[in-house]
Amino acid sequence: MISKAMEDYLKTIYKLEREGRGEPVGTGALAEALAVSAPSATGMLKKLAELHLVEHNPRRGVTLTPAGEKVALEVVRHHRLLESYLKEALGYDWDAVHEEADRLEHLVSDELEARMDAALGYPTVDPHGDPIPTREGVMPAAASRPLATLAGGESGLIGRVSDADPAKLRYLAGLGLFPGVALTVLETLPFNGPLRVRVGHDPGAPEHLLGRELAADIFMRAEDPAGASG
């Protein structure tokens, strides 16, 4: 049986693999991300390796096997469908959905998953712009171009905002910055200085200053001539 704890490990390994550009995930990084001690992580990795859900090269790191990745993607799918459902159907604020979804994601049955999916009209991204894996376990591409890489004058649509910090999400929402919104970078100040951005293209639209930490949470996608999915 795959327990809730195992699902959490697999999900987190998946996330760290994504962030880490392919290298195996270290025990320490995993333990920290899960807020457990390193020995606890080692112990669980052994169990997961026995179930062929991860490949564990002692002292070198872990990688998900295809089976493990499938489980991870199911959990991520449940998480993101829940986030979407809580926001769209129950009126949650976008900064509040992550925590709630984390608690519920391990208990979503196939039936509930299917009904939420249908009620939402088969969404492809969650409220933060993160792509929702398909039922078959395919993760669509995510918006991955950091806002700070846009040159002055360049513009695009906000594709995704990291869901890690509710306070940042509230702040950004207060500025009108969330996925789907058009953004123009007016100026990128040197020495890791702030970005001057304009919401939309219109010269009269509101402008804001974003520090680098905040900007790092925002990922852009190309402006879409034929306004597509929501």
Applying CB under 8 A, the residues found at the interface with its own copies are: 86, 89-92, 96, 100, 103-104, 107, 109, 111-112, 115-116, 119
132 exposed, middle or buried (CB, 10 Å; 0-12, 13-18, 19+)?
Answer: buried
3 exposed, middle or buried (CB, 10 Å; 0-12, 13-18, 19+)?
Answer: exposed
Residue 63 interacts with, from DNA, its own copies, none (CB under 5-8 Å by kind) = none
Residue in the structure block whose two tokens are 């999916």? 117
Shortest spacing between CB 60 and its own copies, in angstroms: 36
Residue from 12, 27, 184, 188 touching DNA (CB under 7 A): that is 27
Cβ distance to its own copies smaller for residue 80 or 198: 80
The amino acid present at 119, given as its one-letter code, is A
Q: Is 35 in the site for DNA (CB under 7 A)?
A: yes
Shortest spacing between CB 54 and DNA, in angstroms: 11
What is the Cα–Cα distance from 106 to 101, expressed in whole angstroms? Answer: 9
Residues 39-98 that bind DNA (CB under 7 A): 39-47, 56, 58-59, 61
Residue 47 interacts with, from DNA, its own copies, none (CB under 5-8 Å by kind) = DNA
Return the range that interacts with DNA (CB under 7 A); candidates 25-33, 105-113, 153-161, 164-172: 25-33
Cβ distance to DNA smaller for residue 20 or 211: 20
Q: How many amino acids of this chain bind DNA (CB under 7 A)?
A: 27
Cβ distance to DNA smaller for residue 53 or 177: 53
- Beta carbons of 185 and 151 less than 8 angstroms apart: yes
Residue 96 interacts with, from its own copies, DNA, none (CB under 5-8 Å by kind) = its own copies
Q: Is 38 in the site for DNA (CB under 7 A)?
A: yes
Return the range that interacts with DNA (CB under 7 A); candidates 27-35, 65-73, 121-129, 177-185: 27-35
Residue in the structure block whose two tokens are 């905040």? 214
Shortest spacing between CB 55 and DNA, in angstroms: 11
Half-sphere exposure of 68 (CA within 13 A, CB side): 25
Kindly list the residues in this chain that would bind DNA in the complex (CB under 7 A): 3-6, 26-29, 31, 34-47, 56, 58-59, 61
